[in-house]
């Protein structure tokens, strides 16, 4: 049975760079990169990688700004949501990483994979801060 797409590709026009980390660490103590989607610029230092790499990645990006007043001062908190119409990182859960949208680098706080009744992934929602 074919299920309807909840996030349509025709509405995903915002290019984004995504780097997703695995739970473990490398020998150097750095986080393991399991997915990397960056824009490739001509360079002499581009080396092949064993991580899953797809480029470019387009999403539907919505940002929110919230002002929090503390006793000392005012704090502005910027958050956002990326909706991606397919499972860009299959066979693994997304726990941490970062996203660059519109030139601003934000950390992934939460990931939700919207699933169909048969278990396939319909869309991926990334909450960033």
pLDDT tens-place string over residues 68-109? 888 888 888 888 999 999 998 888 888 889 999 988 899 999
What is the structure's pLDDT at 43? Answer: 47
pLDDT at res. 54: 55
pLDDT for position 42: 47
Which residues are CB-neighbours of 119 under 8 A, at least 6 positions away?
A: none
Cβ partners under 8 Å of residue 118, min gap 6: 1, 3
* pLDDT tens readout for residues 22-76: 888 888 888 888 888 876 554 445 455 545 555 678 999 999 888 888 888 888 8
The pLDDT of residue 39: 66
Give the Cα separation of 111 and 126 in Å (integer).
Answer: 5
pLDDT at 122 over 90: yes
Residue with tokens 């299920």: 3
Pick the CATH number of 9-128 from 2.40.10, 1.10.1060, 1.10.3470, 2.90.10: 2.40.10
Full-prediction pTM beyond 0.75? yes
Neighbouring C-beta atoms of residue 99, cutoff 10 Å: 22
CA–CA dist 44, 93 (Å, integer): 33
């Amino acid at each position: 049975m074919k299920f309807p797409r909840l996030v349509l590709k025709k509405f995903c026009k915002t290019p984004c760079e995504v780097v997703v980390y695995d739970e473990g660490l490398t020998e150097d103590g750095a986080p393991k990169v399991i997915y990397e989607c960056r824009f490739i610029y001509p360079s002499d230092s581009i080396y092949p990688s064993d991580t899953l790499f797809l480029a470019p990645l387009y999403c539907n990006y919505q940002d929110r700004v919230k002002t929090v007043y503390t006793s000392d001062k005012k704090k502005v908190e910027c958050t956002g949501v990326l909706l991606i119409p397919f499972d860009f990182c299959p066979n693994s859960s997304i726990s941490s990483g970062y996203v660059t949208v519109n030139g601003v680098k934000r950390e992934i706080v939460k990931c939700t994979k919207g699933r169909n009744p048969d278990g396939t992934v319909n869309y991926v929602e990334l909450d960033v801060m």
